[in-house]
Structure formats: structure tokens, C-alpha cells
Amino acid sequence: MQSVPGLSAEARAAEAALFALADASKAETAARYFQSGPGQYGEGDQFLGIRVPVIRETARQFNTLTLDDCAALLQSPYNEVRVLALDILVRRFTKGKADVQTAVYDCFMAHRNRVNNWNLVDGAAPYISGPYLLERDRSVIWELAKSPVLWDRRIAVLSTFAFIRASDFDDALKLYAQLLTDSHDLMHKACGWMLRELGKRDEAKLLGFLGTHYTALPRTTLRYAIERFTTSQRSAFLQGDFSGTGVR
């Protein structure tokens, strides 16, 4: 297995703990699931074949790793090692005071090129970049949304989960409207997922968004957004018939 060079003793121990849990058969399944083959969105990602709950339990055993240790582990070719590093960063951010949160956010953003599969983005952006930006300048969200890098754009969308949880919907809706023309299905899914979460809190705003942008909505986004609606509502939306859907 390929070890990250220059790790501290504790970071090396965390990496070794994961290596000891590796399962080649499960790694092959994970590589297919996360589309790591040539030309796929996760091209080049490597896997050890370890389930997320096991990674998180291992991360708790190494919770004293420094931010530098986490940054170093993010350079690992193995997805699960990066999951462990991000899990520690999330816990550090959640429990930390303002200065710690700033340091964690800066670390996350500086090394986001290694947050390069959807499970990594989804496990970190809603709990680090989203909460950090909730009461701060959000211009970085719009910069990320324009990035040619798929994972930057997904970080932008998943960061808005924290806004939605705080019932702060305006920037989230503006962002999803901006990304309607994004070409990647993973972005269509992310926007649809966030719209569904927004709809749990304010169905009227979701219905308004769907009515305004219906003709431009990617089909995948629409399907995700309306998952919680009744069967008849979903059928009507998919057929473009707004009668009885609540859209005005």
C-alpha cells in the first residue's frame, strides 16, 4: 500500500490502522461505485474497502491529530484515509471556538483539491465551509460555483446545506438557479437534494422555485426536489401539469 511520505508518528499510526482494515474485495466494489475508472468522475481514486462507520471509529481513536497531520493525510491516494482526515476536521470545527473554526476552514479550503469525490465533499462541506460562511462574506461560494472543477462546484452547493438549516434560503436559491445549466449529473443531484431539504422547511419557496425555473430544470434535479411530494403531485410535475401541485 502507498503511504504518504513525511507523516508524523501519530498520523502514520492512523494511516497504518486503516491499512490493517483493508479488504481487497470491498475495495473493488467501492472503486466501481465511486466511478474511479478512466474517464469517470472519480478517475484515479483508490480504495481500501472500509465502511464509513469503521473509518469514523478509527478517526475517534486519533482525534488529537493536528491540522497539519490532517492536511498531510489528505494527500493520500486512498479515499478512506482522506475520509478519516476530514472526519477529524469536522469534529474539530464543530467543537472549536472561533479561532479553531477559522483554522479548520482555512485548512479545508487550502487542500480542497484533495476533497475530490462526492462522499468527501458531502461529508465535509455542510459541516465546515457552510457553517463558517453562514455569518460571513459568501463571495467564495460564487467563485466556487464558477470553477471548472466539479468538486469545487459541489462544495458550493453542499455548503448551502448549513444556510438551509438556518432557514436562510435566498443565496441557496440564487445559487441553484445559477447552476441550472451545469452539465454534470452530480451537480443536478446535489441541487435537487438541497431543494428537497429546503422544501422540508419552506414548501412554498420550493414550489415557487420549481414554477419559475421549471422549463430549465434538469430532469434529475426535478426528481430529487419532488421526492417527498405525493404520487399525484410528482406525476403532475413530471408531466408539466401544475394543476393541483401548489404552484401558482
Q: What's the number of domains the chain is made of?
A: 2
Q: Please say which residue of 102, 122, 142 terminates a domain.
A: 122
Would residue 1 count as lying in a domain?
no
Would residue 2 count as lying in a domain?
no
First to last CA, the chain: 58
Q: Are residues 232 and 132 in the same domain?
A: yes
Q: Are residues 114 and 132 in the same domain?
A: no
Q: Are residues 86 and 154 in the same domain?
A: no
CB-based contact 82:114 (threshold 8 Å): yes
Q: Are residues 140 and 246 in the same domain?
A: yes
Q: Are residues 226 and 202 in the same domain?
A: yes
Q: Are residues 66 and 139 in the same domain?
A: no
Res 244: pLDDT? 62
Would residue 174 count as lying in a domain?
yes
Res 242: pLDDT? 74
Q: Tell me, what CATH number does 116's domain have?
A: 1.25.10.90
Res 99: pLDDT? 97
Q: Is 50 left (phi over 0), alpha (psi -120 to 50) or beta?
A: beta
Q: Are residues 223 and 138 in the same domain?
A: yes
Q: Are residues 33 and 96 in the same domain?
A: yes
Q: Are residues 151 and 113 in the same domain?
A: no
- Measured CA to CA, the distance from residue 197 to residue 74 in angstroms comes to 29
Burial class (CB in 10 A: 0-12, 13-18, 19+), 41: middle
Q: Are residues 64 and 93 in the same domain?
A: yes
Q: Are residues 166 and 62 in the same domain?
A: no
- Measured CA to CA, the distance from residue 218 to residue 181 in angstroms comes to 8
Q: Are residues 191 and 112 in the same domain?
A: no
Enumerate residues 6+ apart whose C-beta is below 8 A from 80: 18, 47, 48, 50, 55
- Measured CA to CA, the distance from residue 89 to residue 86 in angstroms comes to 5
Would residue 207 count as lying in a domain?
yes
Place of cell 491529530: 65
Would residue 172 count as lying in a domain?
yes
Would residue 3 count as lying in a domain?
no
- pLDDT tens for each residue of the chain, 248 residues long: 999 999 999 999 999 999 999 999 999 999 999 999 999 999 999 999 999 999 999 999 999 999 999 999 999 999 999 999 999 999 999 999 999 999 999 999 999 999 999 999 999 999 999 999 999 999 999 999 999 999 999 999 999 999 999 999 999 999 999 999 999 999 999 999 999 999 999 999 999 999 999 999 999 999 999 999 989 889 988 888 776 666 76
pTM: 0.95
- Measured CA to CA, the distance from residue 79 to residue 37 in angstroms comes to 14
Task: Write the secondary structure of the chain as one string of H (helix), E (strand) and C (coil).
Answer: CCCCCCCCHHHHHHHHHHHCCCCHHHHHHHHHHCCCCCCCCCCCCECCCCCHHHHHHHHHHCCCCCHHHHHHHCCCCEHHHHHHHHHHHHHHHHHCCHHHHHHHHHHHHHCHHHCCCHHHHHHHCCCCHHHHHCCCCCHHHHHHHCCCCHHHHHHHHHHHHHHHHCCCCHHHHHHHHHCCCCCCHHHHHHHHHHHHHHHHHCHHHHHHHHHHHHHHCCHHHHHHHCCCCCHHHHHHHHHCCCCCCCCC
- Measured CA to CA, the distance from residue 192 to residue 76 in angstroms comes to 31
Enumerate residues 6+ apart whose C-beta is below 8 A from 243: 236
Enumerate residues 6+ apart whose C-beta is below 8 A from 153: 144, 145, 146, 147, 179, 182, 184, 187
Would residue 135 count as lying in a domain?
yes
Q: Please say which residue of 93, 122, 151 terminates a domain.
A: 122
Which range of residues forms the domain containing residue 31?
Answer: 8-122
